[in-house]
Structure 1
Amino acid sequence: MKYDYLYDQCSLCPRNCKVDRHKTVGYCGCTDSVKAARAALHHWEEPCISGSRGSGTVFFSGCTLRCCFCQNHSISQENTGRELSPSQLSRIFLRLQDEGAHNINLVTATQYVPSVIKALDMAKPKLDIPVVYNCGGYESLETIKALYGYVDIWLPDLKYKSSALSARYSSAPDYFEHASEAIKQMISQTGAPSFDSDGKLMIKGVIIRHMVLPGAKEDSMALLDWMKKELPEGMFYISLLSQYTPFYKSSLYPEINRRITTYEYNKVLDKAIELDLLQGFMQEKSSAREEYTPPFDLEGLDD
């Protein structure tokens, strides 16, 4: 089957753990059986993704990162979820479309890309809304290239520039090396952002998300400098997030066991303005609330 060989000696993410996922779990904690924890309309993405009716989000279980502050830790680290076949996943995509979703939003799907491609192939004859790939940014070029023609909107995080920070908080010292190249590839695949006839909903493009972390505003500003210097002007949107809330194992790291200050966020925002990186979104400081994390209660997974 198409791309199934990527499960054989798994190289779907930069961990390159090389295990046979047909027989055992990889670094991500997953076998070759798709597992998800929620499939429902979601209203808390960027305005051009959620629109008025919501984004059709499918939250996949497992993750290629080990972020100590993960707000979705019950599914990313603890593997909560229900197993689904590609045909079941395909029907979920079409149901979300029937419910009025503006798009199909694949949240942390990297560890299941061969199966997701199968599901999209099955749904494609009836699926007429964009597909969003919502990921942590820690991606391999081979996997991004395999998704060419399947993904309309890339929604990657760009978490860190510093390898010391990415090693400490996400166990990935090579995070920026891989995320920076993956984002360049995403932009080359979609081209310039484009919107519907009303100019409100994105139908193609890249939105780079960055969440400002406590005590790390200098790293955030370094990422903005990199975007300005290395990425083609006008070919991406940015989304600066202020929603950091201490979750999961944040208490083990005293420097991030707090919310960010208004001063920290405003310094990063001022830097974006200084660099003329104005194509995108900012968050109100009040966005740092736990209710933005949906309940992972298996909603929408009955077939």
Structure 2
Amino acid sequence: MGVRRIMNLLSNCTLCPRNCKADRGNGQVGYCKVTEELVVARAALHMWEEPCISGEAGSGTVFFSGCSMGCVYCQNNNIAAARAGKKITIQRLSEIFLELQEKGANNINLVTPSHYVPQIIKGISIARESGLTLPIVYNSSGYEKVETLELLEGTISVYLPDFKYMSSDIAKKYSNCSNYFEVTSKAVAEMVRQVGEPEFDQLGMMKKGVIVRHLTLPGYLEDSKNIIKYLYETFGDTVYISIMNQYTPLPQVEQYPELNRKITQEEYDELVDYAIETGVENGFIQEGETALESFIPEFNNEGV
């Protein structure tokens, strides 16, 4: 599909599984809370991704405003709700990619990019013509339409999706998407189809592959175990599984008292032990005090 036809998808928008059909191309706000105008809240080297993504130099992260998920506990709530960020052109986006490359980034890391796929494809194309050589990382909620992911084939080197829920009840309660597992399982399968087995360079940086993240929520250990089991039984060592303990209860979860705490070390250790017993070898775990607000960067338009 040509770039012009891809851009036309922003009218009557069905890029994400919400299928809200907003005419974002003519200024209407979609479920994602943004129009077609690119809004970016931060573009900088980021040191807090998985070791094979950040490395020592850092990942060249671009944080997009807006989100098609709207999780009640979102750690990046200000940008997800489109309350932060700066409007930029596609040309400026391509320049940001090149500036991050000049700063020594290991890759270009697109954070919450789903609702801007057409603009991103065009921006990367422009940047490639101007000398961009870095791998592109697609860092998303996992709640993706296969048809939209297919547009990215050949553009994305590394997929970094979340896999938040197995239970439709939990997904409905916290993210208003009871079909999360059905949608995300198909999306991850498409990501694996596109990029295949993981590949690394001589420094251990991932050049191609899929890392599936799971953020452990307090009180939902069994759902977390079900996700680990599903991922390993379905994809084996083709994907890396990143088990995250950095959930941080922010003020907006006060109406959800069950979420108004960090997970305990015992809960996290039990999940990691379960993953090991299940057979997971290609994975990442977090150690120490990772559930800190320092892991939530300032969205002050740095680098934008």
* Structure 1 position 280, deviation (Å): 1.4
Structure 1: 4+ residue segments shifted above 6 A: none
Structure 2 residue matching 1:286: 3-state secondary structure? coil
* Structure 1 position 285, deviation (Å): 4.4
* d(CA) in 1 for partners of 2:190, 2:232: 16
* d(CA) in 2 for partners of 1:74, 1:258: 20
Matches within 5 A, 1:221-300: 221-231=225-235, 233-300=236-303
* d(CA) in 2 for partners of 1:154, 1:29: 24
Unaligned runs of 5+ in 2: none
RMSD between aligned residues: 0.9
* d(CA) in 1 for partners of 2:234, 2:30: 33
* d(CA) in 2 for partners of 1:197, 1:260: 36
Structure 1 residue matching 2:188: 3-state secondary structure? helix
Structure 1 residue matching 2:110: 3-state secondary structure? strand
- TM-score w.r.t. length of structure 1: 0.97
Matched with 1:184 is: 189
- Relative distance call for 1:169 and 1:55 in structure 2 (3 A) is same
Q: What residue identity is the alignment partner of 1:92?
A: I
- Answer whether contact 1:39 1:56 (CA < 8 A) is retained: yes
2:153 corresponds to 1:131: no
* d(CA) in 2 for partners of 1:101, 1:266: 32
* d(CA) in 1 for partners of 2:91, 2:123: 6
Tell me how many residue pairs correspond in the alignment: 299
Unaligned runs of 5+ in 1: none
- Relative distance call for 1:179 and 1:122 in structure 2 (3 A) is same
- Answer whether contact 2:8 2:25 (CA < 8 A) is retained: no
* d(CA) in 2 for partners of 1:56, 1:248: 29
2:59 corresponds to 1:83: no
* Structure 1 position 80, deviation (Å): 1.0
Structure 2 residue matching 1:265: 3-state secondary structure? helix
Structure 2 residue matching 1:138: 3-state secondary structure? coil
* Structure 1 position 187, deviation (Å): 0.5
* d(CA) in 2 for partners of 1:78, 1:145: 26
Q: What residue identity is the alignment partner of 1:128?
A: T
Matches within 5 A, 1:206-225: 206-225=210-229
Q: What residue identity is the alignment partner of 2:79?
A: I
Structure 2 residue matching 1:281: 3-state secondary structure? strand
2:57 corresponds to 1:50: no
* Structure 1 position 262, deviation (Å): 1.1
* Structure 1 position 77, deviation (Å): 1.1
Identify the match of residue 72 of structure 1 among 68, 73, 76.
76
* d(CA) in 2 for partners of 1:256, 1:74: 19
Identify the match of residue 161 of structure 2 among 156, 164, 167.
156
Q: Residues 35-54 of structure 1, C-alpha deviation per residue, up to 9 Å, x if partnerless?
A: 01000011010000001110
- Answer whether contact 1:68 1:248 (CA < 8 A) is retained: no
* d(CA) in 1 for partners of 2:159, 2:63: 16
* d(CA) in 2 for partners of 1:129, 1:280: 23
Identify the match of residue 117 of structure 2 among 107, 113, 117.
113
Identify the match of residue 98 of structure 1 among 95, 102, 113.
102
* Structure 1 position 197, deviation (Å): 2.0
- Answer whether contact 2:237 2:281 (CA < 8 A) is retained: no
* d(CA) in 2 for partners of 1:112, 1:47: 27
Give % identity.
47
- TM-score w.r.t. length of structure 2: 0.97
Matched with 2:66 is: 62
* d(CA) in 1 for partners of 2:251, 2:52: 29
